[in-house]
Amino acid sequence: MGNRGSKQQVDGRRQSVRGRATATAVPKDTKKAYEMLCERLKELSALGGISGLLGWDEMVMMPAGAANSRGAQKSALAGVMYDKKTDPTLGALLETLRAAPAGALDPVAAAVVRDASKDYVKATALPKELAQRIARLETDAYPAWVKAKQASDFSIFAPFLKEWVEVNKEKARLIDPSAPAYDVLLDDFEKGLTSARLDAVFAQAREGLVPLIAAIKSRGAKLDDSWTHGEFDVEAQAALCKKGAEAQAALCKKVWAGGEAQAALCKKIALDLGFDTEHGRLDVSVHPFTGGAHPTDVRMTTRFKKEDVMEGITGAIHETGHALYEQGRNLEYDGLPVNSALSMGVHESQSLLWERMVGLSKPFAAYLLPLLKERFPATFGSATPQQLYEAENTIREPSLIRVESDEVTYPLHIILRYELERGLMDGSVQVDDIPRLWNEKMQSYLGATPPSDAKGCLQDVHWSAGLFGYFPTYTLGAMYATQIYAAAAKDIPGLEDKIKAGDFAPLKSWLNVKIHKLGSLHASGDELMTAVTGGPLDPSVFLTYLKNKYTELYKL
Amino acid sequence: MGNRGSKQQVDGRRQSVRGRATATAVPKDTKKAYEMLCERLKELSALGGISGLLGWDEMVMMPAGAANSRGAQKSALAGVMYDKKTDPTLGALLETLRAAPAGALDPVAAAVVRDASKDYVKATALPKELAQRIARLETDAYPAWVKAKQASDFSIFAPFLKEWVEVNKEKARLIDPSAPAYDVLLDDFEKGLTSARLDAVFAQAREGLVPLIAAIKSRGAKLDDSWTHGEFDVEAQAALCKKGAEAQAALCKKVWAGGEAQAALCKKIALDLGFDTEHGRLDVSVHPFTGGAHPTDVRMTTRFKKEDVMEGITGAIHETGHALYEQGRNLEYDGLPVNSALSMGVHESQSLLWERMVGLSKPFAAYLLPLLKERFPATFGSATPQQLYEAENTIREPSLIRVESDEVTYPLHIILRYELERGLMDGSVQVDDIPRLWNEKMQSYLGATPPSDAKGCLQDVHWSAGLFGYFPTYTLGAMYATQIYAAAAKDIPGLEDKIKAGDFAPLKSWLNVKIHKLGSLHASGDELMTAVTGGPLDPSVFLTYLKNKYTELYKL
């Protein structure tokens, strides 16, 4: 439906021209072959953009009763994309281009062929039987995990986790028998990283963090953020009510639409940071996310809690970081893998750089406080930037739950998961031992033991989708972020004063040039860090940032 | 982008199963072949739904700067759909099924094979050269028409119209050399209708309408609707301001969001008529339309004018009629052509039945007036249902412009265009004679001559897109509507009292069963009319409705 007019026929007919041109043979000429490759990759990129829009619409706009039909649409599109990703002609083109004489491809073209070849291998490696087994497991493991978590009984989920270990080992072997299984899976999320390298990085981080957390804990909870909680939309009303008719209007808008006071504030912040509404949308959704169809069509969402204005703001800053990366992608290479994010870790580095390096900093508190005073005077009217800064960086009792933890304890939640899933893949950890090992590591890293599997090894959904290698990207992002920000601070004179003044343009422009526009040109996060900061990923920068910050905050 | 999570990979991998199953040979067994056909048609339907969503998003949600990327996405999807619509395996399946012994297919399956075969022929008939020529013409003819209309100079557009005549003749010949060219084009919009039949229908309508219009004209403009115009959002504010704080809130919402008073009213009406928000959305757009992705995901839009509340309401009722048809499609045959609208004329019959038979009726005025009084007391406070009814049915001087004309004069605008485009296709009319013939017909049918080509033969965009056979569906819809409504009035006791009471459910349910659920089961509008009303399309029902209504209104 939706095509009662003529427009669709027009598009369809226009396509008849291209439609017929697809069955051509593979040219031996490198330039021609590369052009043909790019045409196919751009088509896949456009279909991927449609897939992104479907996902956004489902979360933000779709009527509840359309779930089944949307499922059929996503499935049909995924089928089309699968067929194109595994088209033998695509494989033949890539083979031709990999065989091209050195220097025949410029660095960008070489990166395109490198990443497209990897994708082709991954897309074609699985035999039908394994693909079916994985599809079944994706369907069955999630409800089992939900049931296990509700009953807080790991044994319900264990059989499915065992099968995920098996199929992931088999999948990895088929994709690259020469590499450790975990490394092959990791590459899906963090291009070019190996578990050997990650072992060293995380070990160094762990050794720095455990004593720091112990020290903070021993100081007792000195800081307090309870004063920042309240009833913010109600408060916005009260404040505005004092100001007569015009303010009444603003007030009423807030009363009616709910969360509008916070929404308006978060929108102002996102725009101040550089979000471009000419090439994106801001909406509200249950879970904040950044998606969309293209760098010129970035759809970002936020959410708000009546009682906690800071959570909405932090989420908005985080998503803005993702959105600026997407909007900053290099349109010169539009539709080619080289213009997309290098990895999930690097993507997370952009959200965390803005959320933590900027959003949780002293100068940002000086920028934010007047905005809060204006809208929520009862709570913030008499606060100082230092008080806001301390409240934003309060560390409570180490949380047992990853998603509730702060920037100091979060990495240990990740490292714990990494050590377990890596062990599952190399056989040094057995599925049945997960609950015990989980709790032991929690105790030794964070000094706390989960009272139940529900609050322990069953808390996250990731393993039920067979996602091994995904967790590390969260903490890699946090580490990249500190290192990138340090380089920016060197390059941009008076960066902190600019942030204090709400002038974020210099930092955004610097990131556009140094990170966003580079996309996937480099083969790994280490390569990108070397290009941007002069050296590979260095956990000590992250540790130093945390030590300095919390030593001062907690007078350690 | 939009796939930083795992969901898309999951979909993609799940698809690997289906993806590999597509290259199977065509089974000779009828049942198996039909199942395979349905699988392919459902996939095409799902992709068509995505295309519908892209169209809606572009009109309602998409950021302005995303136009180019959206173009690439639509083009990629159209290319995919073209390849699937022209897949030889699809053709072979249809051939097998057409060769099946009589009775091997039930009526629904037979209708599916009938319509799918027709679509396959149309999709595969054009050689690449002609497809390219049409694509070029679609690109070039539109700006030429814009230029010609601005300069009010038909000669600028004439060469493109000449080429459209040529390519449409050639296209029609390739699709079905045995039928008149115009009939082949007409079939795209009004399945199963011939120009011979249409000649008779429109001739009868013309002969009845011309004297009726002359009679109304000679009575002079007795009715007046000027009193229904005003400043409605402002008025809503004023009304609400009387009611203190709480109303202030409502008021301010209106001030801020604009058109909210009207939007709320139109939404209430759409919901009263039966629009299901569990399976659809209501939004605002520049041009009202009904689109979406599926019968369970119908996206309808409206628009409002500050000075004319009735236009917004009429548009909302019209679109609701389209939306109820879409939401009423038979999900038992989900994804098969048999569950989609029989034709554009039948689709228009549903919008016009609600807009005119219901929305412009006396009982509806009794339902609507209290809603208007409540919201816009200054304008409607002292009005009677009869006054509202008369205002809604005011006929001004016959307009030269189709889209501005009323239900009495509108058909003649259509008949004029039909006579000309039909003549162009059979050679009895030459492109260069269009302006003269247009003006002569306007004079003899409506007693008025356009002062310029811009207000005459250049007023509509349709011919610049090569759409011949599209115009008749507007008036066929109006005729179907009167005939269908007459049948409903026979079947539903006290229908007018129910409408008066705002109880539209019986009519909606009747249409669900008699029209919506039947979809494309029948081969033509005449067949559908026979099934629903006991006889084929009969213009006299339409003429009688207009004569009775306006004889009373204008005391003819």
Q: Hey, which of A301-305, B64-68, B233-237 has the most confident mean pLDDT?
A: B64-68
User: A465 and chain B: CB distance < 8 Å anywhere?
Assistant: yes
pLDDT band at B422 (very low <50, low <70, confident <90, very high): very high
Q: Give the pLDDT of residue B259.
A: 66
Average predicted confidence (pLDDT) for chain A: 90
Q: Residue A16 pLDDT more than 90?
A: no
Residue B441 in tokens:
């017909």
d(Cα A459, Cα A400) in Å, to the nearest integer? Answer: 9
B253 contacts on A by Cβ (under 8 Å):
252-253, 256-257
Instruction: Supply the DSSP string of B302-369, one letter for each residue.
Output: E--BTTBHHHHHHHHHHHHHHHHHHHTS-GGGTTSGGGS-S-HHHHHHHHHIIIIIITTSHHHHHHHH
Tell how strand A290-294 and strand B280-284 pair up.
unpaired
Among B60, B49, B116, smallest CA distance to B86 is for: B116
Of residues B12, B79, B294, nearest to A15 (C-beta): B79
pLDDT in tens, A168-219: 999 999 999 999 999 999 999 999 999 999 999 999 999 999 999 999 888 8
Neighbours of A286 (CB within 10 A): 9
Average predicted confidence (pLDDT) for chain B: 90
Q: What mean pLDDT comes out for the span B399-425? A: 95
Q: Give the pLDDT of residue B10.
A: 34
Residue B331: closest C-alpha in chain A: A69
Q: What mean pLDDT comes out for the span B220-226? A: 76
> Which stretch of A13-27, A408-422, B316-330, B424-438 has the lowest confidence by average pLDDT?
A13-27
Give the DSSP letter of residue B294.
E
pLDDT band at A305 (very low <50, low <70, confident <90, very high): confident
Q: Give the pLDDT of residue B398.
A: 73
Q: Phi and psi (nearest 5°) for B497? A: -65, -35
Q: What percent of chain B has pLDDT over 90?
A: 78
Q: Residue B65 pLDDT more than 90?
A: yes
User: B4 and chain A: CB distance < 8 Å anywhere?
Assistant: yes
Q: Residue A14 pLDDT more than 90?
A: no
Q: What percent of chain A has pLDDT over 70?
A: 90
CB distance B446 to B432 below 8 Å: no
HSE-up (13 A, CA, CB side) for residue B443: 9
A 211-270 residues with CB < 8 A to B: 248-253, 255-257
Q: Give the pLDDT of residue B24.
A: 55
Q: Give the pLDDT of residue A241.
A: 44
B297's CB contacts (< 8 A; 6+ apart) are A62, A63, A65, A66, A69, A70, B49, B53, B279, B280
Long-range contacts of A223-227, Cβ-Cβ distance < 8 Å, separation of 24 or more: A223/A390, A223/A391, A223/A393, A223/A394, A223/A395, A223/A553, A223/A554, A224/A390, A224/A391, A224/A394, A225/A310, A225/A390, A225/A391, A225/A392, A225/A394, A227/A379, A227/A383, A227/A387, A227/A391
pLDDT band at A221 (very low <50, low <70, confident <90, very high): low
CB distance B70 to B50 below 8 Å: no
B 281-300 residues with CB < 8 A to A: 281, 290-299
Q: Residue B277 pLDDT more than 70?
A: yes
Q: What mean pLDDT comes out for the span B468-497? A: 98
CA distances from A166 to A128, A421, A422, A468, B515 (A): 16, 12, 13, 12, 54
B293 contacts on A by Cβ (under 8 Å):
1-2, 66, 69-70, 73
The β-bridge partners of B283 are B301
CA distances from B77 to A33, A303, A505, B53 (A): 23, 33, 37, 12
Q: What mean pLDDT comes out for the span A151-173? A: 97
Q: Which are the catalytic amino acids of A? A: 319
Among B417, B390, B421, smallest CA distance to B164 is for: B421
Neighbours of A366 (CB within 10 A): 20
d(Cα A177, Cα A162) in Å, to the nearest integer? Answer: 21
A261 contacts on B by Cβ (under 8 Å):
none
pLDDT in tens, B297-314: 999 998 888 788 888 899
pLDDT band at B5 (very low <50, low <70, confident <90, very high): very low
pLDDT in tens, A51-72: 999 999 999 999 989 999 999 9
Q: What mean pLDDT comes out for the span B506-521? A: 97
Q: Which of B9, B16, B84 to mutate to test the interface with A (most CBs of A within 10 A)?
A: B16
Q: What mean pLDDT comes out for the span B189-195? A: 96
Contact: A281, B61; criterion CB under 8 Å: yes
B322 contacts on A by Cβ (under 8 Å):
4
pLDDT in tens, B99-139: 999 899 999 999 999 999 999 999 999 998 999 999 999 98
Q: Residue B12 pLDDT more than 80?
A: no
The Cα angle at residue B371 between residues B367 and B372, in degrees rounded to 5 = 110
Q: Residue A9 pLDDT more than 80?
A: no
Q: Give the pLDDT of residue A255.
A: 38
A69 contacts on B by Cβ (under 8 Å):
46, 49, 293-297, 334
Q: What percent of chain A has pLDDT over 90?
A: 78
A 468-497 residues with CB < 8 A to B: 470
pLDDT in tens, B14-37: 333 333 334 458 888 999 999 999
Q: Give the pLDDT of residue A247.
A: 42
Q: Give the pLDDT of residue A230.
A: 79
Is residue A490 classed exposed, middle or buried when 0-12, 13-18 and 19+ CB atoms within 10 A define those classes? exposed
pLDDT band at B237 (very low <50, low <70, confident <90, very high): low
Among B294, B358, B283, smallest CA distance to B328 is for: B294
Q: Residue A237 pLDDT more than 60?
A: no
Q: Residue A344 pLDDT more than 90?
A: yes
The β-bridge partners of B297 are B294
Is residue A429 classed exposed, middle or buried when 0-12, 13-18 and 19+ CB atoms within 10 A define those classes? middle
Q: Residue A137 pLDDT more than 80?
A: yes
Q: Give the pLDDT of residue A317.
A: 97
Which one is catalytic: B260, B319, B326, B390?
B319
pLDDT in tens, A364-414: 999 999 999 988 888 999 999 999 999 999 877 778 999 989 999 999 999
Amino acid identity of A10?
A: V
d(Cα A502, Cα A364) in Å, to the nearest integer? Answer: 8
Q: Residue B93 pLDDT more than 50?
A: yes
Q: What mean pLDDT comes out for the span B332-353? A: 96
CB distance B341 to B298 below 8 Å: no
